[in-house]
A and B are shown apart, each in its own frame.
Chain A
Amino acid sequence: MTPTMQPHLLQQDAKAQPIDRVIAQVGSVILGKDRQIRLALACILARGHLLIEDLPGVGKTTMAHALARTLGLEFHRIQFTSDMLPADILGVSIFDRGAGAFKFHPGPVFAQVILADEINRATPKTQSALLEAMEEHQVTTEGETRPLPRPFFVIATQNPSQFVGTFPLPESQLDRFLMRIRLGYPDNTAERALLKGGERRDMVSHLLPCMNAAELLEIQQKVRMVHASDALMDYLQALIARTRQSPHYVNGLSPRAGLALLHSARAWALMHGRNQVLPEDVQAVLPSVVGHRLQPTGDHAHHKDLAENLISAVPIP
């Protein structure tokens, strides 16, 4: 091995190019939220569903919309309300006089990207209709099972649960979301640009796709191939073990949460042009992946601190 051979180790992957374009384009609409956009994209690349939780008006819906358009995917938006029924999402069979038979009218869930807006406004029954579709990638109504399109993923937004008129998602359903991210207020510069700039909604509708569904599926396939070494598995397991032993958490991370962490870290690594997962990749996605899965034993600890404490408490082996 000679030093001249080294640069290829971190050589940019050819497929990373469209990813960078996606990030740049979404970033032009959602200002100053580069990290959140990357996390959201990593979540999609890892074939996970995304939950965006924040105050009204910080751009949750706009971001979901921008992501769908930029990825060139078919997009449906479902605004959740408290009087919504499962059929409003899944679809309903109506008798067709002409054909003399029941005909199924697919609901808004039959799309590649579902934006489930304010999911915690719906009743648990309706929530679970969507969440089951998320898990199974298929819909069963009136005894018939219909597959959902591929790729299929859900971007759900919700208001913090202390807001009036919400049905907070139970832990078991939160677990179905690979990541939960928070947008937060924009910083000063971004805010100024936002105030000066045009109408966000118009901007989104003028966005051009940067890739198509086939390309996305291919990248998702590549994510699975990213190498995770034994040393990295050691680190991952040390992190999981810590959550199970430490008195600071009500419950430790489940095996599914461990897999979620690994897949997200793989996607993060690929997005950053690497073919192997580094501890830094795990650390980058960890707050979003475990934030909604770990409950602190005390009342005061903030979720973000929780993840940061976990990272700093576990040495990299």
Chain B
Amino acid sequence: MDNKPLSFRNIVWLLLALALVAAPHAERLPPWVSIFAGVLGLWRLYIAQRRLPLLSKWLLFSMLGAGIAGIYLSYGVILGRDSGVALLVLLTGLKLMETNSQRDAVMVLFLGYFLIITNFLYSQTIITGLYMLLVVLVLTAAWIGCNRPSHDYPDKLKLHLAGTLFIQSVPLMVVLFLLFPRVQGPLWGLPQDAYSGTTGLSDSMSPGSLSQLTQSDAVAFRVKFNDPAPNASTLYWRGPVLWRFNGRTWYGRTYAVSEPPELQALDKPLRYTVTLEPHNRDWLFALDMPGTFPPQAGITPDFQIISNAPVRSRMRYEVASYLKYQTGINENPVALRRALQLPRNSNPRATELAQSWRRSAGDDSAIINRALNLFRKENFYYTMQPPLLGEHPVDEFLFDTKRGFCEHYASSFTFLMRSAGIPARIVTGYQGGDFNAIDDYFIVRQADAHAWVEVWLKQRGWVRIDPTAAVSPLRVEAGIAAAVPATDPLPLLVRHDYPWLREARFIWDAMANNWNQWVLGYTPQRQAQFMTRLGMSEATWQNMAIALLLASGFIMLGLAGMILWRLRTAPRDPVQLAYHKFCGKLAKDGLARHPAEGPQDYSLRLAQAKPLKAETIRSISELYIALRYGTLADKLAVKRLRQLVSGFET
């Protein structure tokens, strides 16, 4: 590496590689940073093409100052994840402006490799991985070019060499992945803003909040059942339970984690593993009703499973649920009172209706049936585009608009129940899921978000009632795509219109799931399991480090051996074997034949070095030449050559 100026072609490669690295950041950076960096790159290209002098230090310094100030103004901080990446992109662009020598170029290339890592702070999907692989190839090719500044190395060969280097490094990469001692959690603490922008349920619900969520086809979690999977219509994935109502919005989290509530199972437990995508909240999802909870979590009296820490990375846990159960017969009176509370003077028409029901029908279940019949018979529509509601949303929905999404039905049903004196609470979560037959698991997406109701009856305790099912039974039986009108906007991946797309989506999701489970989910526990299966008695980091060193040592030896094997000149016929033996004998004596030295030249050199042996050496060489390059093809001659070589001593 020296300080020769870079050729134009090398600069083009450098810029291409950096553009590829930074491209995925462009959508996350503020536009001005992307544009600034882009302009710097094009400027550098222009300078290189016109052979103009580089910018002055003062101009660079002032641009640097302006850039840092701009980032501080955009983000409010300098050292966050997003601002850090923005700063890095900006600095790389500025570094380019003073890059003219090989040494600078290598610096910039290292920055490029580092930028690759920053992309994984945002996305760790297969696509990102493959793209970064491509970027590594291009960066390495650019690097190879920078190391050969004097002649322009052909581009095809650069990529070829980069590819060869990459393939040679794959075994080492696999060993490092498998054996490098893992630490729990990310390698370094990420700043707080690293978790913004994750979608998911919240612990409150107002008209429109869930229907917005259903516009996302992002995966909420994936579930693998140990036993045959139950019917999708029975899958109510329990999330936050909402008790408090202010006339418009329902609020959750009334209880903290405590002793597990009493639950009377009426059938066998259903065991399954959930792989939850990070949602930056602390609740976990389980089927109604969870009978167990994972060790790193607790359970509240209203059966919410709460993790010890917000879920910021993909989390796997095992739960067992009972689909048939009885709970809350001896419910705490305080809780029952809470389940009846309503704000004063809110939604008067609905209150009046419920109270009239109470007056005419004495029985709680009769009231419930009247409410459900109301939804069934009074031209209510299930739609994801409900009209906006005003001051008394329950009244307006029940008597005027009659068009709504699950949150409207759950909210107004609960309101009616409470007004009629029946304790009720709202449960939010997800309902159903796509069964992926490729790998036998369920995919639950944000679009499957749902809200239902639990009412408390004297003899039966808490009973689940899904008012949405009364309006649109299809929603529960066949999923959201079947239930909403075709004109409603739905994310492409959730729609049922294209069977081939559905199939392709399942295959893709199965791949993504395996990637999550085995590559991204290769946690210390999994590593320990794997090591034990490989026969390691104790998977301590010391043992793993030794195994790592040994394995990488063997791989390097293997690679070196392979390369040497290819370099060797393999003699196959007896003439060559005999001659190589002859050369070998002399090589031990310090008179090795140069690979490109012809037999006659070698013979002359040997005869000079060993005048006493000159006669034998000449005989052997002449016989070899005649056999190898002449027309002599005689078994006796070959035998003679072998005899001469065997008898030859230096």
Contact = CB atoms under 8 A, between A and B. Distances in A.
Interface of A: 1, 3, 6, 9-10, 227, 229, 231-232, 247-248, 275-280, 283, 296-300, 311-317
Contact of A280 (B152, B598, B619): B598
Interface residues of B, number: 30
Interface stretch (B271-279, B405-413, B544-552, B623-631): B623-631
B596 interface: yes
A315 B595 CA distance: 4
Contacts of A312: 594, 596
A297 B152 CA distance: 7
Given A278-B600, A280-B601, A317-B569, A9 B626 contact: yes
A275 B150 contact: no
Contacts of A248: 151
Nearest to A10: B622
B599 A278 contact: yes
Contacts of B153: 247, 297
12 contacts: A9-B630, A227-B631, A231-B629, A232-B629, A247-B153, A278-B598, A279-B598, A280-B598, A299-B150, A299-B151, A300-B150, A315-B569
Nearest to B568: A315
B151 A278 contact: no
Given A6-B619, A227-B630, A280-B601, A296 B595 contact: no
Nearest to B644: A3
A310 to B, nearest CB: 9
Contacts of A275: 630
A277 B630 CA distance: 8
Contacts, number: 75
Given A1-B637, A229-B629, A299-B150, 10 more contacts: A1-B636, A6-B622, A9-B630, A9-B632, A229-B630, A247-B148, A247-B157, A315-B569, A316-B569, A316-B597
A278 B603 CA distance: 13
Interface string B590-633: 00001111111100000000000000000100110110111110
A313 B630 contact: no
A312 B595 CA distance: 8
A10 B636 CA distance: 19
Interface of B: 148, 150-154, 157, 569, 594-601, 619, 622-623, 625-626, 628-632, 634, 636-637, 640
Secondary structure at the B interface, as helix, strand, loop or mixed, is: loop
**Residue among B150, B157, B596, B623 having the largest count of chain A Cβ atoms under 10 Å:** B596
What 4 A-B pairs are tightest by C-beta distance, nearest first?
Answer: A315-B595, A298-B151, A280-B598, A279-B598
Contacts of A229: 628-631
Contacts of B623: 6, 9
Nearest to B573: A231
**Residue among A278, A296, A300 having the largest count of chain B Cβ atoms under 10 Å:** A278
A298 B149 CA distance: 10
Contacts of A299: 150-151
B249 to A, nearest CB: 69
A298 B628 CA distance: 37
A1 B634 contact: yes
**Residue among A298, A313, A314 having the largest count of chain B Cβ atoms under 10 Å:** A298
B640 A1 contact: yes
Contacts of B622: 6, 9-10
A303 to B, nearest CB: 15
Nearest to A281: B598
Given A276-B625, A300-B150, A315 B596 contact: yes
A277 B569 contact: no
A6 B622 CA distance: 8
Nearest to A272: B600
Contact of A298 (B150, B596, B601, B625): B150
A300 to B, nearest CB: 7
**Residue among A10, A227, A232, A316 having the largest count of chain B Cβ atoms under 10 Å:** A316
A314 to B, nearest CB: 6
